[in-house]
Structure 1
Amino acid sequence: MGFFSPGNKSSSNSNSSSNHYIGIWYNQIPLQTVVWVANRETPVSNRFSSQLRISDGNLVLFNERNIPVWSIISNSTSAGVEAVLLDDGNLVLSASTRSDSIRLWESFDHPVNNWLPGGRLGFNKITKQNSAITSWKSANDPSPGPFSVSLDVNGTDQYLIFYNSTDFWRSGPWDPVGRIFSLVPEPNANIYNYSFVDNDVESYATYTMNSSVLVSRFVMDVGGQIQQLSWILGSSQEWTQYWTQPRVQCEVYGYCGSFGSCTQRSQPFCRCLQGFVPKSEADYGSNVFYGGCTRRAGLECSSNGNISSSGDGFLPYYDMKLPSNPRIQVSGAGNAGGCRGFCLNRCSCTAYSYDDRNNQCLVWFGELLNLEQDVSSGSTIFVRVAASELPGSDSHNALVIGGVVGSAVVLALAAVIGVVIWRKRRMRKLGEKSVEGSLRAFSYRDLQSATRNFSDKLGEGGFGSVYKGVLSDSMVAVKKLEGIRQGEKQFRSEVSTIGTIQHVNLVRLVGFCSEGAHKLLVYDHMPNRSLDSHLFNHQGSGVLSWKTRYNIAMGIARGLTYLHEKCRDCIIHCDVKPENILLDAYMCPKVADFGLAKLVGRDFSRVLTTMRGTRGYLAPEWISGTPVTSKVDVYSYGMMLFEFVSGRRNLGRSNVDGEMRFFPYEAMTVINEGGDVVELLDRRLGRDADPNEILRVCKVACWCIQDDESHRPMMSQVVQVLEGFLNVGMPTIPKTVSLLLDDEEQVEFFTKSTQKQQLEERGGNLSSEYHSAGH
């Protein structure tokens, strides 16, 4: 804690700004990160002659002229008042008595733009004080910005993000069973503990951390997004984003300000409309856009008050999300011309839009907010500008003179070129339109550039190949889909559905490309590759500990539960296997390739049975041809659980006697005979595991691979078992398991799909960043 100057990398360098503040930052993180500011609205100019001290029982900051500029009024008469900064970042003002110490004030009750573990963010029903985290005005100005997040005071048990007084995002109400806010990505329960308290005195949310090496914080960003950021002590070089809402920058209300247009596919996101300039060039240069734009030239109508002589006109903007500020629907406009005339004849009318499909005329008065370009259901809006901003007559005359002087051949050639250019632009626009939701639409050329012409291949699977790509703001994995025969409209519809699915244990779809035969999906990049590259790598030095395996198993179960039971329509993955489980920087598991079965359509069964590594996880329904349900995923998950215990593929030859071994059968036999389950454990772990957890995993895996799908649990029940809230007994050994080793056809079916992988695992052939197409 001490004086700092915004924009500096360390507290000792204060030469670039004349404004100094008292702040709190981390002492174990090399990148100075200020999480609380005392005098955010009253900086001092000289930190050497300013002083923070206890004065008359209050904590007061005096400037260089010894004038108080900020204080905490404690109303304490005690002489033993002291201020202490605790290890969790909480600044506490307390008063000592003969028998106790009384807390008079604490910074956790007065957050600035960060919400730290242990802090309470909520509403005091007695004092009516609602604590909020409010963005800085800019990256170099900690004074309050327009964005804030706070608890809904109407008792809905949810948090709202505000732009000034307008709320534009909601967390959804608190779910006491799931211990989560319904519209917030599910947290990793192994790392974060969230709770919500609601009593007669107060309502608030708080959270704690289970990891001593992971530092986490929520921040209300200058751009209007609430972000949860993490830092691993001793290894991180920068803050890593765990999640953010709104997910897409252009969904932030008022982000580009008045008369600004947001385009998700461009950098920077905001641009002033034609005929407008930034109100503050300095803010725009610092990527602070909410100040908005102003007209470059005044309107003639408003300057002389004479509507009939107005030389104002309108500039069209196509494929736009219409402004969110209040609008008026004009009845009786008749047509587009009537709508235009209605707006033109009213000096305060700034824009109009006419939909000829339903003869709807909409007009806006005053400033325009939240214009967004490149949206799938975009409309055309006409924005009022001064006559000087309209296309001039000089260029038009030049064109006419050129036509008179030139030959008909030249005109014809120009027309042909114009048509070609128009068609190319039209096709490009069709390819770039975003689908419903917040997905980014990429052109094929964009992804060629991002992947360096698809040169860095991460892996290959039944759905296509995956390539590493680098965008301006992130690293991605680009999957080139093969065998997609859907039409443009249906493809976009399915991709839109996948894009709306968000969960901490599911790989996030960032965007897509659909240009003719080119169908590509763009995902978040997972730096720790796929699960199989860790679980079955017997040549490498990094062995997954039992605790890490158990946490990964629970994360996968939660992800599948979300797909099966919490989406609007049940989504069956159909190809659950270690190759389709990816691991992020914190070894948090992410289920990949969900939703692709529907994209491939009726060819999926052929793709599935020929896919490398898939056969060993297939439920009997796939082979018998009976209709599949979500229980096929449960079966595949159960098969995978056994591999978490053994660290090897389920079926393979013993290194001792060369006999074919099927691990699920061995595990069931040991448990039924009351044997030592730790003997089943991967030898590389040296018996370092909780026997109760091993038994729990094996038992629930046995239930998951039952022949009769009705005997298999739901994935939500699997989660309860792994969390220890639900106990299960030992089921009978399924016939398919007990007969497998006696059936040469089944053995051949399984081994053909795993031989190649086992050879790779023995040879340590894991040089690819992704061992397989985990996306």
Structure 2
Amino acid sequence: MLSCNSPAVEIYLPTANLSTTWTANNFYQFSYYEGKIMLIRETNVAQFTCGFYCKGIDDCTSYLFSISISGASNYVNQDFEVVWSANRDYPVSENATLDFTADGELILKDVDGSIVWTTNTAGKSVVGMNLTDNGNLVLFDDQNSVVWQSFDYPTDSLLPGQKLFAYQKLKSTVFITNSTILIGMYSLQVRDKGLFVYVESNPPQAYYSRLLHDSIDVKRSIQLLDGSFTFYIYSSQISDTDYMLYTPQETPAHYMKLMPDGHLQVFKWKSEEWTMVEDLTADSVEECGYPLVCGRNSICSSNQQCGCLNSEYFRLENNFQPNLGCSAITPLTCNATKDQHFIILKNVTYFTLIVDMYGVGIEACKQACLNNCSCKAAFFQHDSNASKGDCYLPSELFTMRNDNVGYSNTIALIKVQNTTTSHRVSHKVARVVGSTFGSSMLLLVVAIGFITYVYHKRKRDAEMEEEYLDQVPGMPNLFSFEELTTATENFSKKLGEGGFGSVFEGSLKDGSKIAVKCLEGLSHIKKSFFAEVQSIGSIHHVNLVRLRGFCTWKSRSFLVYDFMSNKSLDRWIYHGVRDHILKWEVRKKIILDIAKGLAYLHEECRQKIVHLDIKPQNILLDNEFNAKLSDFGLSKLIDKNETEVFSTIKGTPGYIAPEWRSSIITEKLDVYSFGIVLLEILCGRKIFDRSQPEESWHLLFVFQNCWERETLIDMIDKHSEDMQVHKTEVLEMLKLASWCLQTNFKRRPSMSSVVKVLEGGMNVESNLDYNFTDPRIQESTVGDEKDLTLLSPSLLSGPR
């Protein structure tokens, strides 16, 4: 269903002018359209319509701003197919608006005024918008040059003449209900070695491919060419092509789509409906070869009969829909590998076998899977010599296929968690307890004695911990639980809440306001609690939040800080969530404060203190907007004579430096995090933001592209006129950010050097590497968040 509002007249044109607004609503009904139409382009073979797409006819609760295709002269036919959408991750509500601003930017706003999507083309001399003959939505300038086009941001379809370049994606779309639209599990990409269709996992698993000659070193892309619609991966010219696939040539096709079930299909308009003319994956993928044809942890047999791997360890997600897959009865647990074993399945095949280990025995393959927590199964493939083969260790297990003929040389070893251990233990205990009445009474007495011992030991340990901290010179005040209860009015004024506790507002007897962080007593929380008390309890700096005191009571720990009236920095810098827009001078002061606080930690304390979790949520602002670093629960102390130490690195995804893989800890980790925060302050957006176009989700990609194209000015916070006025200073600050974000940590500046640059006493290094991309993101794909969440977030960050 398409619904579009024209601003004034009901004339359906393929172009639009600046300063135009459209609204998603049901104000006007024209046959199967609901609402007025925005743009229509009709050719002799197809009609393209631009507007708000609504899945339901009678109940439109969510909309996509989209382009759809239908047959020519199809005003009264409801068979419209969406071939592009701007906001399929974030459907908008009724009465959402699309503004084509006077500055030449398309901005999609939800009904609450929040920005969902934008073309980011303000100030680029855009004068109009056009829906072309091949369904491309184009913003053009006064020279009729393309400034922005929908063809550069593919979704799940490819239209005639549209190119899909290397590492761009088609991703399948799934409509669940009228109001729920999901991105599917399948994606298509062109890579250096050819065309691949994947099921999304970590890493992605390919089930269809067309490989190219390795000798050809060109920038790859695919294109459906008009007329014959030959499917190419080509070099620089159409005449210089690598033959790939052909679609039927007797009738021109209209579009190609990656379907929700993983099929790659080509469609044409025939007999007043869309007809599939070719399934491009069907030539090499059997029906049981699609990764999700039977869901996860399942086996597909002839006639697409779906079943679980083993009824003792797996059960159907839905007994009435076996194609939805199976789930483990007892999930795998990383810290219980001794209770894991393998189900052995022969005469099965898997849709992909990417070798992890060559020329090994089956036992080595099994052991490698046991030693790898993320491994869900081991596939051992061999030839006539079964003692040696290749080993594949997938981190996610999808549909396998039964080989009824028995020709497969693949053995599947499915890792499972023992489900009978607890039953065996219980049975053994029952036999022991039930042997004699006397022995059971003895066990009861021993148990009571043991519980009493543990209770008193824990009580003594808690008292010793309090006594120890109270005797360490320079430690902050040790508050009693009663004092904090009174100060916080029985913990009634909650400031914030996180995964490990809450923060409450309070006042001490002297009238000073405090913030009390309450941490529930998990063992790793206790370690972080002591780390914070010992690292900043005895140091004082104007740009560090002051730890006034602490308290331990039963299983709970409390940290008492000075109250920061303006809370954390993230409330002030991200467009869409900030309280108001900060002036440039205020932002400069905040940046300098952060740098001075880090310089003090790294260079002026008795031991170097590496914070390890610098991010806007951990930078607090007082009533004068002075910035102070907080949350030292992950901090690491390093002796002055040590240049680096090795330890497990934890922090917040997106702010962690690339060297986290090697577990090298130096103060340069904080320098990198500072560079990310600096970038966010200057750009007014988060490091990862799905409300942006897909290629701009990650700010580092945008930063790198702008360096290469010499368009850094486009990154400056567009919602701050004051920032635009001072853009020369902001550009210099972006250069400082690039210095801090060097991939090689040895090339990053010290924080004292950063302070000198900010105060005008030093210049930014000129010979910089502008490849800022985090290897984790580079190895995954643009817009894929999975690799950004591999590390544990800060234990103490969050509540304010």
Report the TM-score, using the length of structure 1 for normalisation.
0.38
TM-score normalized by structure 2?
0.37
